Amino acid sequence: MNFYLFAKFKYLFYFYNNNNFLLKNQNPFQKVPNKIIELIPSNRIIWNYNKQQLQYQLLGFQLQVGQNFYEFLAEELSLNKLKSFLSQRIFQAKFQDEYKVENQIGKGNYARVIYIYIYIHIMKLFKGVRYAVKCFEKQKLYDIDKGMVKIIYKKYKFQKINKQKLSLYNELRIMRCLTNHLNIIKLFEVFEGENTFYFVMEIVDGTTLYDEIKKHSQTPYKDNEVKEIIKLLIQGIDYCTQNNIMHRDIKPENILFSKKNNKIILKIVDFGLASFVNDDPYIFPKCGTPGFVAPEIANLVDKNSGYSAICDMFSIGIIFHILLTGEAVFLGKKFNDVLKKNKDCIIDFNKPIYENLSQDCKNLLQRLLEKDPIQRINSKQALEHPYFQTQYMKKMSIDDVSSSQLESFQIRQKNNSLFTTPLRIPYLTNDESQQQVIQDNLNSFVTRDPVMLAQNQKLDPSNAFYYTIGRSNIEYNS
């Protein structure tokens, strides 16, 4: 617990930080604080700078709590310490005071609600350090909810909160718990502008694992590369599990990939669908991407029932399968075909494509793709699996394969690779005849339960209403 000395006009105050609270005292060692300020996302802080100098100097801050504003001054050293503590916990104002924008590097969107966020390069003023920032436009958040009831969510004291804004707050809540692992994207600061929310994150000079795998659509991965990628993924998910967090949308598009000095760097990103295991109920109970989602989520009926973080291990199993064989586990030309096979989760491990896998490799794959989550291998067990102790994952080297076997293997790689015909949620279309088909497809997996109340119906604080929706990478048909 740190303390900071501030002056508000002629009065002295001591601030102590205690996880998600600021404690304000008039005396340094008093037992009962004068004020306890909970650090919830709806609060905002405005840092005051001396802009007359070449390098801005911190002078103080204004703290907005509800409709109230509190202004304080302090020495720059104390302010910097406080800023470091608060920057992930509440939204800061005046993003442009601290960063300059360089260029856009990518974009994503929410499934079915056509809400787009963008990633851009930014640079910290005066320090020359580059970051990535994830930007959410407020107007698009609010437009989505036109005509819908605002959510009441107990974690935010039953405030009326816009549904997608709640998702944003939840993503912040998740990411600030995941700040100390090499395989998880790091969040540094959050800002709220007049029109935009900003998540400032570390930048990874590379591409997604999806793009990286496409480069291998004609050539198999090397044994050691597959092993390293899967081990890094499991280590990242193990860290999430230790923090009681499940990602729920693990797929190649949500994994950043790069190499430095021949060493693979891998980062799990996009925690928009993530949840704490003990959240009750989940904001998005039934969500994910068909072909990658765990069967217990895809088959969920009672949205008030829970599941565990082991759901992410199934998704890792799908990626493992793709890296090993070049094929998706659940092949299908239509959305519902893939989803049905994903739900049924019937996998024949006696097929020829598995013949060349070593016993340890095949065993780990089977245990990752176990339909029953109780029987599925967890992250700790997986990291201790013999597969990661053995040198080779295949029974024979490519030199030992006959020419006919090699030709057959190459043809299978070329014709059936997921990455020559990638599986995706169906494109949105303006064709009215196809709208119902697409809507049925989407509703068959990512469920939608809007709760609409009559104007004369009162809101009961004992209940929580949810609008269940998923987010994924939809591409638009021009």
**What are the tokens at 324?**
């090993």
> How far is Cα 139 from Cα 195, in angstroms, rounded to an integer?
7
According to DSSP, the residues that pair with 99 across neighbouring strands are 124
**What are the tokens at 129?**
């350090």
**What are the tokens at 418?**
């997921």
Concatenated DSSP letters of 102-143: EEEEEEEEETTTTEEEEEEEEEETTT--EEEEEEEEHHHHHH
> How far is Cα 220 from Cα 162, in angstroms, rounded to an integer?
46
41 upstream amide cis, omega within 30 of 0: no
Residue 105 dihedral angles phi and psi, to the nearest 5°: -120, -5
Give the helix, strand, coil percentages of the chain, each rounded to 5. Answer: 30, 25, 45
> How far is Cα 465 from Cα 134, in angstroms, rounded to an integer?
28
> How far is Cα 25 from Cα 33, in angstroms, rounded to an integer?
5
Burial profile 343-379: b = 16 or more Cβ within 10 angstroms, e = fewer? bebebeeeeebbebbbebbbbbbbbbbbbebeebbbb
Alpha-carbon torsion, ordered 189, 278, 155, 62, to 10 deg: -20
According to DSSP, the residues that pair with 74 across neighbouring strands are none
Query: Contact 190/95 with Cβ under 8 angstroms?
Result: no
> How far is Cα 42 from Cα 165, in angstroms, rounded to an integer?
10
> How far is Cα 419 from Cα 23, in angstroms, rounded to an integer?
53
Residues classed as catalytic: 249
Residue linked to tokens 């590097």: 105
Does the annotation flag 134 for ligand binding?
yes
Q: List all residues 6 or more positions away from 40 whose beta carbon is below 8 Å from its beta carbon.
A: 20, 90, 156, 157
User: What's the number of CA atoms in the CB half-sphere (13 Å) around residue 348?
Assistant: 5
Burial profile 380-394: b = 16 or more Cβ within 10 angstroms, e = fewer? eebeebebbeeeebb
Residues annotated in a binding site: 134
**From the annotation, which residues make up the binding site for ATP?**
134
